[in-house]
Amino acid sequence: MLIIGVDPGLKASGIVVMDNLSHIRYAVTLYTEAGQLCSRLNHIYSEFTRILEEWRPDVAVLESTIYYKNVKTALSLGAVRGVFLVAMAQKSIPVSEISPTRVKLSLTGQGRARKKQVAFMVRRMLKVDRELTEHEYDAVGVCLAYLKETGNAVRLGR
């Protein structure tokens, strides 16, 4: 089973493909340059669709939205999430959403853990032998939390 995990963002989105044995098969951060929102969303959609076609994941896990004080940021993130959701729906990939708090709680035992703590736990749990971006670590965390919650975490070293 292949799982695609997504940490959505307008400037940078982390995407990983993992198997249900928690092996990272592919990791990338999609970056967009400043400019019109429609161009940036189109870039994300095109690249993500290409990744979906190449890897053909069985399930997708998307980090859900958290509360934002800045309305403009929240609206932009909503648009980005919409792009990912539409792309996955077009490929008939079942999607689960998981909150950042649940990811942090699942991996570190603290719902308010920092990104560095999540990255540390991912490295420790999976013995990652290469450096990932913070967005890729977050996407891996989303996958691991999903596997843990669904009981599919076959070999997480625990």
Catalytic annotation, residues: 7, 63, 135, 138
The closest alpha carbon to 146, from 66, 57, 78, 86, belongs to 57
Instruction: For the chain, report the end-to-end CA distance as a whole number of angstroms.
Output: 21
- In whole angstroms, what is the distance from residue 102 CA to residue 149 CA? 10
Task: Give CA–CA dist 50/44, Å, rounded.
Answer: 10
Token couple for 27:
């990791």
Q: How many CB atoms lie within 10 A of CB 19?
A: 16
